[in-house]
Amino acid sequence: MNVSVESEEIRPERLRDTVHETIEGISKKVIGSRRVARFMFIALLSGNHILLEGVPGLAKTMLASEFARRLCMDFKRIQFTPDMLPSDITGSLVFNLEARQMEFRKGPVFANVLLADEINRTPPKVQSALLEAMEEKHVSVGGQIHPVPEPFFVIATQNPIEQEGTFPLAEALLDRFLFRYILTYPSREEEVQILRSLTLQEEDEAGLDAQKILAIRSMVKGVYASEEIMNYIVDIIRATRSHEMVFVGASPRTTAKYLMAAKANAMLSGREYVIPEDVRFMAKEMLNHRIVLKPEVLVDSDSDPYAPVMRTIESIISGVESPV
């Protein structure tokens, strides 16, 4: 992997140390967030987005804002509601009396890190406006295209319990999220640490800025993945379509996202090549929102609504031969 003199400060080994320091800083402020912060970095460095799912009070908003603050990037939050319009997030055309012409006023989507809070509480037309920004990296208003800032990283949240008055995300939108990370209640020790952390002093340290993130993204693309690794990823995706418990499997688009995510995880681990463990490490978060189980599987499920899909993913991974 070639690293220029200008990017010496973001060498792979230096990146690993910086990311670990940033994750540690986030985990001190948001107790129990070390693992999810790593997945957020993987999504960011591979040019993708992440969906956080969990009941209220699990610090999803705090995690997103702390993540953005540590990266020294512009952060905005949208609280989605049923009465929103697409212009509430993209911006709109307004008439400038002084200039006597229409001008575009940017909406909150124009940020490096965007927290889409309770994304399933807004109508599909608003979700589609966000989808355009996520996939195309721009928004269309008044027949004109306006690019969003780079990097552009969406952290969306949704509550899996309260479903009244919600609009379930379409498969096309769900597929745009690299991961659906399921947040659970903290352990007893972690809850004690939460109380202790209330007295900690604020830290002003920031590890990475937008320009460094963009440079690192280009470095991620250079991480080596062997033919065996690429075949391994393809076999896993194809296995989701033929598994006896799955009604609809993952799409071909998932394979490209999977490979880039595995490369990002390898870089965060201080390696310039992908190993099978990089692929297995993120299998559940990568696939749990991309496969649809057969109805009979869900009928026989236990009290944990996520258990059937997680067991199915484990079965798929164990059924695919891993390269040495």
Task: Tell me the C-alpha distance between 168 and 293, whole Å.
Answer: 17
Q: What is the pLDDT of residues 146-157, one digit of tens each?
A: 999 999 999 999
Neighbours of 222 (CB within 10 A): 13
Q: What is the pLDDT of residues 109-123, one digit of tens each?
A: 999 999 999 999 999
Measured in whole angstroms, the distance separating CA 298 from the mean position of its chain's CA atoms is: 26
What CATH superfamily is the domain 223-324?
Magnesium chelatase subunit I, C-Terminal domain (1.10.8.80)
pTM for this one?
Answer: 0.90
SS (H, E, C) 99-110: CCEEEEEECCCC
- Mean pLDDT on 230-254: 94
pLDDT of residue 231: 97
How far from 232 is each of 70, 238, 270, CA to CA, in Å?
35, 10, 22
Could you give the count of Cα atoms lying within 13 Å of 141 in the half-sphere of its Cβ? 25
Q: What is the pLDDT of residues 127-148, one digit of tens each?
A: 999 998 998 999 988 888 999 9
Please give the CATH topology (third level) of the domain spanning 1-200+207-221: Rossmann fold (3.40.50)
Q: Is 186 exposed, middle or buried (0-12, 13-18, 19+ CB in 10 A)?
A: middle
Q: What is the pLDDT of residues 181-234, one digit of tens each?
A: 999 898 899 889 888 877 766 655 666 788 888 888 888 999 999 999 999 999
Strands 50-53 vs 179-182: parallel, antiparallel or unpaired:
parallel
Nearest partner of 261 among 246, 240, 291, 282, judged by Cα: 282
Residue 87, helix vs strand vs coil? helix
Place of tokens 């990037």: 73
For residues 306 and 263, which has the higher predicted lDDT (pLDDT)?
Answer: 263
pLDDT at 3 over 50: no
pLDDT of residue 204: 55
Average pLDDT value for the chain:
87
Measured in whole angstroms, the distance separating CA 164 from the mean position of its chain's CA atoms is: 25
* Percentage of the chain lying above the pLDDT 70 cut: 92
pLDDT of residue 43: 96
* Cis peptide preceding 323, ω within 30 of 0: no
Same fold, 1-200+207-221 and 223-324: no
Strands 138-141 vs 144-147: parallel, antiparallel or unpaired:
antiparallel
Q: What is the pLDDT of residues 7-43, one digit of tens each?
A: 445 566 776 777 788 888 888 889 889 999 999 999 9
Domain boundaries, the chain: 1-200+207-221, 223-324
pLDDT of residue 282: 96
